[in-house]
Amino acid sequence: MHNILVLGGGFGGVTATRQLEQMLGWRKDVAITLVSRENFFVLTPLLFEACTGILELRHCAQPIRPALRRARFVEATVTSVDADRRVVRAVGPNDGTYELPYDQLIVALGATTNEVLIPGSEAALTFKTMTDALVLRNHLIERLERADAAITAAARRRCLTVVVVGGGLVGVELLGELTAFAGDVLRYYPRIRREELRFHLFEAGPRILPEIDAKLADISLRVLRGRGADIRVSTPVRAIEPERLHLSYESIDAGTIVLVAGIVPSAVAAAFPVEHDRRGRIVVNQAMRSLSHPTIWALGDCAAIPGPDGEPYPALAQHAIREARRLAENVAAVVDERAPAPFVFRSLGTMASLGHAQAVARVFGVRLTGFPAWWVRRTYYLFQMPRWDRRLRIMLDWTVALFFRPDITKVDIATEQVQMRDERASSTRRSGGYIAEQANFAKGDADTRTKARA
């Protein structure tokens, strides 16, 4: 029996598992298992709209189980790998520890936000997961509510200042969606004027959107500045504190600070006993096989896969998907004792949404801007969702959003749970006091009745 174990339920892991199912799923001598921390896969390019409420949050995700046919799914957090015994250790939802054996191990554990670069980064919000999108959404709406009720001008100003740290694809798309969202929902906050809202983006490098060509980056800059955003390049953030950010020459009070200035490979993958590069990515050859451990394969954001020029491929979903397909074919080849083939891919292009039906894109060498770019981007990502049920829900959300303003319902689970607990505790105290009073009355009545009888 060949045990193929896939770690990570993101673009790389889910695509590789589905491809392996197609090629080997019918074979009795092959077992395919996918292990991931969450039981869903997130289509990250849709997270921006999920954050602002254009999309229902769950609709940017796909539950993994219905997306698989023959592979086994295990919801667990991978903690380590023992490459000598060929077992992966993981902790399940009931805190049970698993030891999962493998013959071929595919590592697709992705990356996390780089919090090492800027001191105090832990005080900032991040934007990588579905939870991040929910937390940021609640936070933004809460800041608008607070600004509406603020007594001092300084408190109001702080609540209405949003800073995005990092001018890459994620930072620019996030800023675009947030400026559009704020413009749309201000109608519900008549005491807040549009010009009171301040959006800043600070980028340490010489330009925004290094992933896209300079002309499209300039167009994005113009669109976002046209919405009043202050975008500064060659402006490294020196430190972050809660609600305060320091540049070299200036400090800014901001109620919302989102850190999207780069990623680092998953800490668990970076600690695996295989060869890594300087940044902690697993070093593999062009066939995506570990140089030090040939039974281990890696792809996506946690791997350094050399392209034809020797430079690693970028950490993008479009690459992770193609890498996954090739990697699955390579693992199937090795199971059948054939030679794996190198992964070679030329990017199809890059797209960046700017909110309000605006985007920039370069697809197959053609530049698109405005509505056509936005439409192409949306359509492309819609079809990246693995199943039709989710696609239909997304299309419905988009259609509704054409006619109505974004939803400003705030579901702050943590705060609500604390409030409910406090309320329950105080009502128990109150009813405890009431019951004691009733008991005293009853005792008083009984005493009076006894005295009367006597």
State the nearest-atom distance from the C-beta of 403 to ligand FAD, in Å.
26
Q: Which residue number is nearest to ligand FAD in terms of Cβ?
A: 10
147 or 297: whose CB is closer to ligand FAD? 297
Largest CA distance in the chain: 107
Which of 71, 83, 109, 208 is close enough to bind ligand FAD by CB under 6 A? Answer: 109
**5-24 residues near ligand FAD, rule: CB under 6 A:** 8-13
- Span of 3-11, 22-30, 189-197, 446-454 interacting with ligand FAD by CB under 6 A: 3-11
CB atoms within 10 A of CB 175: 29
Q: Which residues contact 62 (CB under 8 A, 6 or more apart)?
A: 14, 40, 41, 43, 385, 386, 387, 390
CA 116/CA 122 separation, integer angstroms: 9
CB closer to ligand FAD, 5 vs 197:
5
Residues 237-276 that bind ligand FAD (CB under 6 A): 266, 268
Distance of CA 45 to the CA centre of its chain: 9
Residue whose CB is less far from ligand FAD, 177 or 252: 177
Return the residues of window 360-399 that contact ligand FAD according to CB under 6 A.
none
β-pairing verdict for 230-232 and 198-202: parallel
For residue 52, the tally of other CB atoms under 10 A from its CB is 25
Q: Rounded CA gap, 104 and 299, in Å? A: 14
| Range 78-97, binding ligand FAD (CB under 6 A) | 78
By beta-carbon proximity to ligand FAD, the closer residue of 128 and 227 is 128
Q: Is 89 exposed, middle or buried (0-12, 13-18, 19+ CB in 10 A)?
A: middle
- Looking at the Cβ atoms of 13 and 340, the one nearer to ligand FAD is 13
Which of these segments, 104-112, 197-205, 305-313, 418-426, binds ligand FAD (CB under 6 A)? 104-112
Q: Which of 173, 163, 257, 161 is nearest to 223 (CA)?
A: 173
**Look-up of token digits 């959003």:** 401
Site mask for ligand FAD (CB under 6 A), range 161-190, x = bound: ---------x--------------------
Half-sphere exposure of 52 (CA within 13 A, CB side): 25
How many alpha carbons fall within 13 Å on the CB side of residue 109? 28
Tell which one of 300, 349, 355, 386 touches ligand FAD (CB under 6 A): 300
Residues numbered 119-138 forming contacts with ligand FAD, rule: CB under 6 A: 127-128
Residue among 283 and 316 whose Cβ is closer to ligand FAD = 316
Is 44 within 8 Å of 70 (Cβ atoms)?
A: no
**Of the candidate residues 33, 45, 369, 397, the single one contacting ligand FAD (CB under 6 A):** 45
End-to-end CA distance of the chain: 91
Nearer to ligand FAD, 221 or 269 (CB): 269
Q: Compute how many residues bind ligand FAD; rule: CB under 6 A.
A: 31
Nearest distance, CB of residue 374 and ligand FAD, angstroms:
13
Binding track, positions 301-340, relative to ligand FAD; x by CB under 6 A:
xx------------xxxx-x--------------------
Give me the DSSP letters along 252-267: EE-SEEEE-S-EEE-H
Question: Nearer Cβ to ligand FAD, position 237 or 315?
Answer: 315
Q: Are 188 and 148 in contact (CB under 8 A)?
A: no
Residues within the interface to ligand FAD (CB under 6 A): 8-13, 35-38, 44-45, 47, 77-78, 108-110, 127-128, 170, 266, 268, 300-302, 315-318, 320
